Structures are given as structure tokens and as C-alpha cells.
Amino acid sequence: MKKILGFTLVLMTLGFMSCSPSPVGRWIEPTGGTEEQGFILNQDGSATSVNMGFIEFTKWEKNGDLLILNGRNKGAYKREFVDTMKIEKLTKTEMTLSQAGYSVTYLKD
């Protein structure tokens, strides 16, 4: 009986974990204008920027409540960077990221 109960608890835990929303997808910041901007987080860990000017994302990872985006600046000061943001909210349609007291909400496109 204890083995069955333990196995059931493990299955329930795995079920709840798989129900949590994934950051994979196309995320757009509502700007109020006609030009949308944001990023695409692909299942394979690659990332792409959407109309972000000189910013080009290359890969991403989620570590606990952190979203880590790697990329490079393609402007006059070319350099690679790692951007670490706290995931304040993540649903199937909305993700709010914060960093250094500033937060941005993205909508899944």
C-alpha cells in the first residue's frame, strides 16, 4: 500500500510539473505602435530577436525563476552579452520579466 501511495504521489508531482506554462514561443511587447518587438524562444534553446534593432539573441535557458538570454549587439559597439531577468509571471499567454527594478510584460503571439 505504501508503495502504491508513493508511486501515486510521484505521478501527481510530475503531472503538475508538466502543466506549468513553458516560455517557449514568440513573445511580443505591446508598444501601442505598429512596429512590434520582442523575441522568440525555441524548443531547442535557440532564440531570435524580433525587431530589436541592434540586438540579436542567440540562445536562452530557464533556471528556476530566471530567464537567461544570450546574444550580441550588432551596433557600433559589437559585443556579446548575457541578460538575466527574473520571471515575475508566466502564463500560457503572458510573461512579465524584471531586472534592476524595471519590468516588462510580453504577450505570446
CATH of domain 2-108: 2.40.128.280
Side-by-side strand order, sheet with 94-99: 47-50, 37-41, 25-29, 102-108, 94-99, 79-90, 66-73, 55-63
Task: Give CA separation, 82 vs 57, 67, 69, 101, in Å.
Answer: 9, 10, 6, 18
Q: Is 107 a residue whose pLDDT tops 70?
A: yes
The string of pLDDT tens digits covering residues 40-69 is 999 999 999 999 989 999 999 999 999 999
* pTM, rounded to two decimals: 0.79
- So where are the chain's domains? 2-108
